[in-house]
């Protein structure tokens, strides 16, 4: 799946953002929990503990006063304190407990906290209810003391003391539970703090690792951009050597591949330009040199003919010398004509033709010559090929040149194949997968033989002017051939044939308005 550089960088930094969000979110949650617990202790358990402590102290004072009521010299004076405690002190104490429970527990939004408050409130109410009979028994106690009924007074006192001790014990238990809840909250807060610190450290380390990974990933993603820049500088300095591009599946990789394709196109264009300029220079020199030597060669040839007439009947040695001189003159004349053909290379006059018909007709002129050399020629054609824009004379020249070269590679005879078939342009083969529309069918002319083949080093220089492996070759045939093919908008390449021999492949574009197949 193709992902853009922006998407990759965005994804990497999204990971960093997620990691930081986790750290921040956990910190916020931990802080809120700590604040909630602290608020519960401050507004709930602390007031509750104080209220319960006051209630316990009040009940303790109640019990102490009851223990001495029967032995007091004037119990009536104590009655005011007891009645004030029942009317004011005890309701105030239990009211403080209920208020603390209401503020921090029963009105809380946390279900667990609210349930704790409800249980504590229920127990406080039960304790208060258990102490409700004190009012009636206290009145009976003072009535008994007023009548002088000591036994009845002591029994009522013991009942009040027993109930007060039980209430004090239950209030003390409730206070202890509240204090234990406070300790539990503190322990939970300490444990949460340790977990929060550990998680904060872990998430911080994770965020750091993700950040470093994202930075390294972004650097690796953007590294090819620097390589493209360096490559552009190298190309500007004249380095047109093709280089492989590592596939990355993003815009930078596509840019690098496009840039390399452009460099290859520039290299090919530069090579073609150099070759064309070289051939043009050769043509000018050839025209000048040929002009200067053609007349002397003609004079020499004419004088040889006169000498042959004068030396009729002369010895065999003289005749052999004259024949050798004539052969060299004819060779020089042919050589000068070949050089002159470079200078006279005309512009292609393209016309809509069938390449197969042109090839078939041309092979008819050269087939006998090949048979005399012991070479078996086989020609094949693929039906339904599109028409091609070509110069018939120049294509004949190309075909003759390549066929004769193949024949020269078969001095003792052999096989030679000429095929006209469907194909693709050389440039299109490299980019055919990237095209959305179908590539028009090109036409290929293939000439191959089963000779010894051509070495790789030789194949690399075949189209250089003046490079030849023949003793009497000029090294201009193949450069002219490529010049003609490129003038037709086509390409030519040479390959090693398996198991032996060489293969020349010419690709020509179809004529306009041909249907795409």
Beta-sheet pairing, 375-381 with 414-423: parallel
Closest among 384, 374, 360 to 415, alpha carbons compared: 374
DSSP string of 286-344, one letter each residue: HHHHHHHHHHHHHHHHHHHHHHHHHTTT--HHHHHHHHHHHHHHHHHHHHHHHHHHHHT
pLDDT digit string (tens) for the chain, length 517 residues: 455 666 766 776 777 777 778 777 777 777 777 777 777 677 777 777 888 888 888 888 888 888 877 776 677 777 888 888 888 888 888 888 878 777 666 666 667 777 877 787 888 888 888 888 888 888 888 888 878 888 888 888 888 888 888 888 888 888 787 777 777 777 777 777 777 777 777 777 777 777 777 777 777 767 767 777 777 887 777 776 767 766 665 666 677 778 778 877 777 777 666 666 666 666 666 666 665 676 677 777 777 777 777 776 667 777 778 777 877 777 777 666 666 665 555 677 889 999 999 999 888 888 888 888 899 999 998 988 999 999 888 898 889 889 988 888 888 889 999 999 998 765 444 444 444 455 568 999 999 999 888 888 888 888 877 777 776 666 777 888 888 888 888 999 999 888 888 999 999 999 887 554 4
Q: Is the torsion defined by CA of 15, 21, 24, 27 positive or negative?
A: negative
| Burial classification of residue 44, based on how many CB atoms lie within 10 Å of its CB (0-12 exposed, 13-18 middle, 19 or more buried) | buried
Beta-sheet pairing, 351-353 with 491-496: unpaired
Model pLDDT, residue 325: 82
Model pLDDT, residue 143: 84
348-508 classified as CATH 3.30.565.10? yes
Closest among 427, 426, 443, 277 to 356, alpha carbons compared: 443
Domains 240-345 and 348-508 in one fold: no
Whether residue 506 contacts residue 358, with contact meaning beta carbons closer than 8 Å, is answered with no
Measuring CA to CA, how many Å separate 424 from each of 45, 147, 407, 440, 490?
A: 89, 134, 27, 8, 10
| 34 Cβ contact list (under 8 Å, min separation 6) | 189, 192, 193
Model pLDDT, residue 506: 93
Helix axis angle, 150-236 relative to 134-147, nearest 10°?
Answer: 150
Whether residue 358 contacts residue 316, with contact meaning beta carbons closer than 8 Å, is answered with no
Q: Is the torsion defined by CA of 423, 384, 362, 447 positive or negative?
A: positive
Torsion of CA 176, 177, 183, 188, to 10 degrees: 170
The C-alpha atoms of residue 384 and residue 65 are separated, in whole angstroms, by: 128
Model pLDDT, residue 6: 64
| Burial classification of residue 180, based on how many CB atoms lie within 10 Å of its CB (0-12 exposed, 13-18 middle, 19 or more buried) | exposed
The C-alpha atoms of residue 202 and residue 29 are separated, in whole angstroms, by: 16
Measuring CA to CA, how many Å separate 138 from each of 75, 114, 132, 344?
A: 12, 37, 11, 145
- The model's pTM is 0.46
Model pLDDT, residue 473: 63
| 177 Cβ contact list (under 8 Å, min separation 6) | 120
Question: What residue segments make up the domains of the chain, in order of their start?
Answer: 5-212, 240-345, 348-508
Q: How far does CA 88 lie from the centroid of its chain? A: 81
The C-alpha atoms of residue 284 and residue 300 are separated, in whole angstroms, by: 25
The C-alpha atoms of residue 67 and residue 145 are separated, in whole angstroms, by: 14
Fold of the 240-345 domain: Helix Hairpins (1.10.287)
Measuring CA to CA, how many Å separate 451 from each of 41, 287, 409?
A: 102, 36, 6
């Amino acid at each position: 799946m193709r992902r853009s550089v922006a998407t990759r960088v965005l994804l990497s930094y999204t990971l960093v953002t997620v990691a930081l969000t986790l750290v921040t979110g956990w910190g916020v949650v931990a802080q809120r929990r700590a604040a909630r617990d602290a608020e519960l202790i401050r507004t709930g358990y602390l007031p509750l503990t104080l209220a319960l402590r006051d209630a316990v102290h009040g009940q303790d004072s109640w019990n102490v006063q009851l223990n001495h009521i029967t032995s007091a010299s004037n119990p009536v004076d104590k009655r005011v304190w007891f009645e004030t405690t029942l009317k004011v002190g005890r309701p105030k104490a239990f009211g403080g407990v209920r208020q603390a429970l209401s503020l921090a527990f029963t009105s809380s939004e946390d279900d667990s906290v609210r349930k704790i408050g409800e249980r504590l409130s229920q127990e406080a109410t039960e304790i208060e209810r258990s102490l409700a009979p004190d009012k009636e028994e206290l009145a009976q106690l003072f009535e008994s003391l007023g009548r002088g009924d000591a036994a009845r007074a002591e029994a009522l006192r013991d009942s009040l003391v027993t109930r007060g001790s039980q209430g004090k014990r239950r209030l003390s238990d409730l206070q202890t539970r509240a204090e234990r809840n406070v300790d539990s909250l503190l322990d939970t807060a300490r444990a949460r703090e340790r977990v929060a610190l550990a998680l904060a450290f872990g998430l911080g380390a994770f965020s750091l690792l993700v950040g470093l990974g994202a930075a390294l990933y972004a650097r690796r993603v953007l590294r090819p951009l620097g390589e493209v820049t360096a490559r552009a500088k190298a190309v500007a300095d004249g380095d047109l050597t093709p280089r492989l591009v590592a596939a990355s599946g993003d815009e930078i990789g596509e840019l690098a591949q496009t840039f390399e394709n452009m460099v290859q196109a520039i290299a090919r264009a530069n090579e073609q330009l150099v070759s064309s300029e070289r051939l043009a220079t050769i043509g000018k020199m050839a025209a000048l040199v040929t002009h200067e030597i053609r007349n002397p060669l003609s004079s020499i040839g004419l004088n040889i003919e006169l000498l042959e007439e004068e030396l009729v009947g002369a010895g065999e040695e003289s005749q052999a010398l004259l024949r050798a001189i004539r052969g060299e003159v004819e060779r020089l004349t042919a050589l000068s004509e070949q050089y002159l053909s470079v200078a006279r290379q005309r512009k292609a006059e393209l016309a809509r033709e069938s390449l197969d018909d042109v090839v078939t007709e041309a092979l008819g002129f050269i087939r006998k010559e090949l048979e005399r050399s012991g070479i078996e020629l086989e020609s094949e054609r693929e039906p339904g090929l599109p028409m091609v824009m070509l110069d018939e004379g120049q294509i004949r020249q190309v075909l003759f040149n390549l066929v004769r070269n193949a024949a020269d590679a078969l001095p003792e005879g052999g096989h030679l194949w000429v095929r006209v078939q469907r194909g693709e342009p050389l440039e299109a083969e490299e980019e055919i997968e990237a095209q959305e529309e179908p590539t028009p069918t090109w036409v290929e002319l293939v000439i191959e033989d089963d000779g010894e083949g051509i070495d790789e080093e030789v194949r690399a220089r075949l189209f250089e002017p003046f490079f030849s492996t023949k003793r009497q070759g000029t090294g201009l045939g193949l450069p002219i051939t490529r010049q003609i093919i490129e003038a037709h908008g086509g390409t030519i390449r040479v390959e090693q044939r398996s198991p032996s021999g060489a293969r020349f492949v010419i690709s020509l574009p179809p004529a306009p308005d041909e249907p795409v197949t």
